[in-house]
Structure 1
Amino acid sequence: MSEAFYKKPIAGLLLLAGAAGGPYMMFETETGRQASQGASYWLGGTSGAGQSEASQQQDSPPPAGKPVSIAMLDNPLNTASAGKSLESPAIHSLREVLRFDIAPGWVLQQFPRVSTVLADTQLDGLRVPLITGTTPSDIAGTLTYYFDRYKRLQRVTIHGVTGDPTRFVAELQQLYEMQQVPSLGGVLYMLRWNGRATSVVHIEPASVIYADALYSRYSLLIELNQAGMEYGLSSEAQQLIDSGKSRQRW
Structure 2
Amino acid sequence: MSEAFYKKPLSGLMLLAGAIGGPYMVFETDAGKLAAGGLSQLVGGSTASETSSGSLSSVNFGSGAAGSPSLADPSGYMINPATVEHDMHQPAIHTLQEVLRFDIAPGWVLERFPRVSTVLADTQLDGLRVPLVTGTAPSDIAGTLTYSFDRYKRLQRVVVQGMTGDATRFMSELQQQYQMQQVPSLGGVLYLLSWNGKATSIVHIEPAAVIYADSPYARFKVLIELNQAGLEYGLSREAQQLLDAGKRTQRW
What TM-score results when the alignment is normalised by the length of structure 1?
A: 0.74
Deviations 1:83-112 (A, max 9, x none): 6x8223411111110000100011111111
2-structure distance, mates of 1:121, 1:168? 31
Cross-structure match for 1:80: 41
1:239 aligns with 2:241: yes
Give runs of aligned pairs for residues 39-188 of structure 1, distance below 5 A.
57=23, 62=27, 66=28, 71-74=33-36, 78-82=39-43, 86-88=84-86, 89-188=91-190
Call closer, same or farther: CA 1:188–1:150 in 2, change over 3 Å.
same
Which stretch has the larger CA shift, 204-213 or 150-159? 204-213
Call closer, same or farther: CA 1:161–1:79 in 2, change over 3 Å.
same
1-structure distance, mates of 2:26, 2:168? 37
Deviations 1:62-94 (A, max 9, x none): 4xxx57685433266x423546x8223411111
User: In the alignment, is the contact (CA less than 8 A) between 2:140 and 2:164 conserved in 1?
Assistant: yes
Residue identity opposite 1:153 in structure 2: L
Residue identity opposite 1:167 in structure 2: R
Question: Which runs of no fewer than 5 residues in structure 2 stay unpaired?
Answer: 45-82
What RMSD in Å do the two structures reach over aligned CA positions? 3.1
2-structure distance, mates of 1:97, 1:73? 28
Cross-structure match for 1:46: none
User: In the alignment, is the contact (CA less than 8 A) between 2:149 and 2:157 conserved in 1?
Assistant: yes
Call closer, same or farther: CA 1:129–1:166 in 2, change over 3 Å.
same
* Deviation (angstroms), 1:35: 6.0
Give runs of aligned pairs for residues 166-245 of structure 1, distance below 5 A.
166-245=168-247
* Deviation (angstroms), 1:37: 2.1
Q: How many pairs are equivalent?
A: 209
Which stretch has the larger CA shift, 136-145 or 203-212? 203-212
Residue identity opposite 1:237 in structure 2: A
User: In the alignment, is the contact (CA less than 8 A) between 2:6 and 2:43 conserved in 1?
Assistant: no
Residue identity opposite 2:111 in structure 1: Q
Cross-structure match for 1:50: none
2:17 counterpart (36, 60, 63): 36
User: In the alignment, is the contact (CA less than 8 A) between 2:26 and 2:35 conserved in 1?
Assistant: no
Call closer, same or farther: CA 1:207–1:68 in 2, change over 3 Å.
closer
User: In the alignment, is the contact (CA less than 8 A) between 2:117 and 2:129 conserved in 1?
Assistant: yes
2-structure distance, mates of 1:195, 1:6? 50
Cross-structure match for 2:49: none
2-structure distance, mates of 1:168, 1:217? 15
2-structure distance, mates of 1:248, 1:37? 30
